[in-house]
């Protein structure tokens, strides 16, 4: 099955700096890669996603890049703010066979310090 | 407010007892899922259902069972709880179309402690 590795497990940045979280996946058939944000005590929520026919996607201060050859994808947050502090999860989904199973990474605790 | 509801919010359970976590959604999503969240291990899929009447196993299905009698409800049952099942359980749903995973909408979570 799919295996998703996520690094780093914790990340501290100064407010205004950029943050980068990286994930690798094992199944070359995976073609959908979402990122979820989970604030303390809350439910995970989708913040951005990318499909394998696209190399990069941006939404205001967040962007995701995908390298299918190397089987890795990254989340970039620019101009970080205190409200960006949360746990971020990457995930991957195999695209064929009717299966609908997202495999999540182990999460990155991002702390934005004032 | 439309969404996905889980019950109970938290529960302490003696080992060996049977427990059912309830999950109901009113978004008419065809796909539903159960994940468990453990520190350092992220979100791991227990069971899923692409449509009413069908279910499938995820990464960690042992000790758990599910049913999907209708579109809205997807209960998770622990037949005989063990301490390793202490976790936070999230139910989720999505509008899966067969070729494209829709956004997963998560419930608030159910914190289960097995003693």
Q: What is the pLDDT of residue B100?
A: 62
Q: What is the pLDDT of residue B15?
A: 97
Per-block average pLDDT, block size 10, for chain A (114 residues)? Answer: 93 97 94 95 95 89 95 97 97 71 94 95
Q: What is the pLDDT of residue B103?
A: 86
Residue A114 tokens, joined: 């004032």
| Mutation site, B103, B104, B105, interface A, largest A CB count within 10 A | B104
Q: Quick one: closest CA in B to A8, which residue?
A: B40
- Tell me how far apart the alpha carbons of residues B83 and B2 are, in angstroms, rounded to a whole number: 34
Which residue numbers of A have CB closer than 8 Å to B's CBs?
1, 6, 9, 32, 34, 36, 43-46, 49, 89, 93, 95, 98-107
Q: What is the pLDDT along chain B (115 residues), one digit of tens a residue?
A: 569 999 999 999 999 999 999 999 999 999 999 999 998 889 999 999 989 999 999 999 999 999 999 999 999 999 999 999 999 999 999 987 665 667 899 999 999 999 9
Q: Which residues on chain B are in Cβ contact (under 8 Å) with A23?
A: none
Q: Which of B42, B48, B101 sits opposite A89 (nearest CB)?
A: B42
Please indicate whether, in this complex, the C-beta atoms of B42 and A93 are within 8 angstroms of each other: no
- Tell me how far apart the alpha carbons of residues A91 and A3 are, in angstroms, rounded to a whole number: 9
Torsion of CA A20, A70, A31, B45, to 10 degrees: -70
Phi, psi of A9 (to 5 degrees): -80, -30
């Amino acid at each position: 099955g799919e295996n998703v590795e996520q690094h780093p497990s914790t990340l501290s940045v100064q407010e205004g700096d950029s943050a980068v979280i990286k994930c690798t996946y094992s199944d070359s058939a995976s073609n959908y890669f979402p990122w979820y944000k989970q604030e303390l005590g809350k439910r995970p929520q989708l913040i951005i996603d990318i499909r394998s026919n696209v190399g990069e996607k941006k939404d205001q201060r967040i962007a995701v890049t995908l390298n299918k050859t190397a089987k890795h994808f990254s989340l970039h947050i620019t101009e970080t703010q205190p409200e960006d502090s949360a746990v971020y999860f990457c995930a991957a989904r195999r695209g064929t066979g009717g299966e609908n199973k997202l495999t999540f990474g182990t999460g990155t605790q991002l702390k934005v310090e004032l | 407010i439309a969404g996905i509801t889980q019950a109970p919010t938290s529960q302490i359970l003696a080992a060996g007892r049977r427990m059912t976590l309830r999950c109901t959604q009113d978004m008419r999503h065809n796909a539903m899922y159960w994940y468990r969240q453990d520190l350092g291990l992220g979100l791991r899929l227990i069971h899923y259902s692409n449509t009413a009447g069908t279910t499938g196993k995820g990464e960690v299905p042992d000790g758990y069972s599910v049913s999907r009698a209708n579109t809205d409800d997807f209960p998770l049952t622990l037949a005989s709880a063990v301490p390793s099942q202490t976790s936070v359980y999230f139910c989720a749903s999505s509008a899966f179309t067969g070729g494209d995973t829709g956004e997963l909408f998560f419930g608030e979570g159910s914190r289960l402690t097995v003693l």
